[in-house]
Chains A and B, each alone.
Chain A
Amino acid sequence: MEEQFAKTEIRKPENIVYKKTDLMVDRPLSYCPGCGHGTAHRMLMEVLEEMDIADKTIGVSPVGCSVLAYDFLNIDMLGAAHGRAPALATAIKRLWPNHFVFTYQGDGDLAAIGTAETIHACNRGENITIIFINNGIYGMTGGQMAPTTLPGMRSSTSPYGRDVATMGHPLKITELISHLPGVYYVTRQAVHTPNHVRKTKKAIRKALELQKENKGLCFIEIVSNCNSGWKMTPVQSNKWMEENMFPFYQLGDIKVDGKLIELPKTS
């Protein structure tokens, strides 16, 4: 009885300070506990809800752990072939120019198999928003090396650590595309603390506002953890991410209003 009382009390509209957005489908996420994908999804949906543009938004999900994003995001979605989301989004935006179009992609999807589609969508200045989840690994297929895997970092296909001499260097695709004139806004964020979550949400909002103004491509990288792929607990993985990923993939704006920001030297 006490419980019931508490429930009705809390549900009064004037008492609600936070509520899960209806744009997240009411079903359990397929992500590992502690993974950043779910938070990134929620930020995106909260922005769509606040801007009231869900009915005018078309999303493209990748192949990767977030392949089932369309099951969780309560908006119209298309699941792309591995790496091809920017090609889909290009056509969708050109055919529905008054709609908001975004892709949501992992690092293998965006920076390995889909590099060409990424660079050319950026270079054409497609009026779309790309959300890029960089966890430095292939989460879905079981923790293989990604284009973004750090030097010396272990993965199932670099079991002794990434040897840059034979396996190549981690690809800073975000910096790379930021130099293209078709790209208007580039930022690198994270979602592992409330403060970072707030900043990410702001960035997503900014990108979608800019899309409304047809400013060109907006690119948001979210450096995220993959506790399963990294073989760590969620807490360990967040610490490892701060200590190892962030020095290499520095957080903050890279290009704003079509102009590159001078970044402090990276290690």
Chain B
Amino acid sequence: MGELRLMKGNEAIAEAAIRAGCDGYFGYPITPQSEVMEYLMAEKPFERTGMVVLQAESETASINMLYGGAGTGKMVLTSSSSPGISLMQEGISYLAGAELPAVIVNIVRGGPGLGTIQPSQADYFQAVKGGGHGDYHSLVYAPASVQEMCDHVKLAFDKAFEYRTPVMILSDGAIGQMMEKVVLFDQVPRRTDEEIIKQCPWASNGRPKTRNHNIITSLDLDPAGQERVNLKLQAKYREMEKNEVMYEEIMCEDADYLFVAFGLSARICQKSTDLARAKGIKVGLFRPITLFPFPAIQVSNVGNRVKGILVVEMNAGQMIEDVKLSVGCKVKIEHFGRFGGIIPSPDEVVKALEQKIIGG
């Protein structure tokens, strides 16, 4: 077993990045995720593993630093919170278009605008439906614990390189700030430059006389060429849908009703499930772990066995659209959400289930 520690979610992200063999972190401070860079600067990974840590002048700069590093085959990470992630959208679109591996962490806070610094899940649409311009998706993980904050970083890097795609970890201010025990995986050595050159023959890191020059770009002025790029990306997304879906089912076997929730909302619903069952209401919880690809078939299988579904989100109803598309219209599906940085209580969620689904 790995090393056991009590850590904040944001710190777990940072420590996991060092241990995963990350080559560079580029970021700009914003609450509630500033601990990621603070931890890294204090931890001096440049001495521990040789990892570069740089405070950029803006999120626009950080995401483009990611693009630069990723284009040379290096393993790069940034983290931010909602307004900063909005600024990064052009860059994320470029990463997707140029097929570059990079990991972006969004510790979501309430919006729109400057909003609040309290936790929220209101960036679901932005994360899952593309976010920037053009037809693309990032692979999106939604951790629900500090342990998953740690584990998803390693997973995200693996998948970013496997698919040559931007991967987003969509968390929120509560998971970022809360402390839990976490089992840290062992240090993975950083790849040597020679290993990178071998692993990433597409990367622009200096052309030896033995090969043609590599070009990292998302531009193809020829519409036929650009359509080919798009078809390639779409084929990649279909592969992800086939192979990368992750989800969790809790007490779904005998359930009459179902909560569907991700991230922090799923943690709350876990308690709500216990409370409801104590009252004699047989409810289960379905938790998507990947938000793109969405576990459409899996939620449909469970969802079509129950009498009603309550989708619980800390937003005004975003993932519910994907739940409805997946489950169809034979089952009643309602939404319960708090927003603007308010975390719903487990009791509130049970009450909403009783009012909107059971009584409604």
Contacts and interface: CB of A to CB of B under 8 A. Distances in A.
Given A79-B216, A84-B61, A92 B72 contact: yes
A56 B209 CA distance: 11
Interface residues of A, number: 34
A92 B218 contact: no
Interface in B195-218: 203-209, 213-218
A81 B207 contact: no
Contact of B94 (A56, A75, A81, A92): A81
A75 B207 contact: yes
Contacts of B90: 81
A80 B94 CA distance: 9
Interface string B6-26: 000000000000000001101
A256 B26 CA distance: 31
A146 interface: no
Contacts of A81: 64, 67, 90-91, 94
Residue among A58, A87, A88, A117 with most chain B CB within 10 A = A87
A55 B204 contact: no
B151 to A, nearest CB: 25
Contacts of A68: 219
B213 A75 contact: yes
Nearest to B66: A91
B57 interface: yes
A61 to B, nearest CB: 8
B326 interface: no
Contacts of A88: 64-65, 67-68, 71
A182 to B, nearest CB: 13
Contacts of B205: 58, 76, 96, 99
Nearest to A92: B68
A3 B216 CA distance: 42
B69 A117 contact: no
The residue among A57, A74, A75 with the most chain B CB atoms within 10 A of its own CB is A75
B91 A78 contact: no
B358 interface: no
Contacts of B216: 77-79
A87 B61 contact: yes
Contacts of B66: 91
B76 A91 contact: yes
A73 B213 contact: yes
Interface of B: 23-24, 26, 52, 54, 56-58, 60-62, 64-69, 71-72, 74, 76, 90-91, 94, 98, 193, 203-209, 213-219
Given A73-B213, A77-B215, 4 more contacts: A75-B213, A78-B72, A79-B218, A84-B64
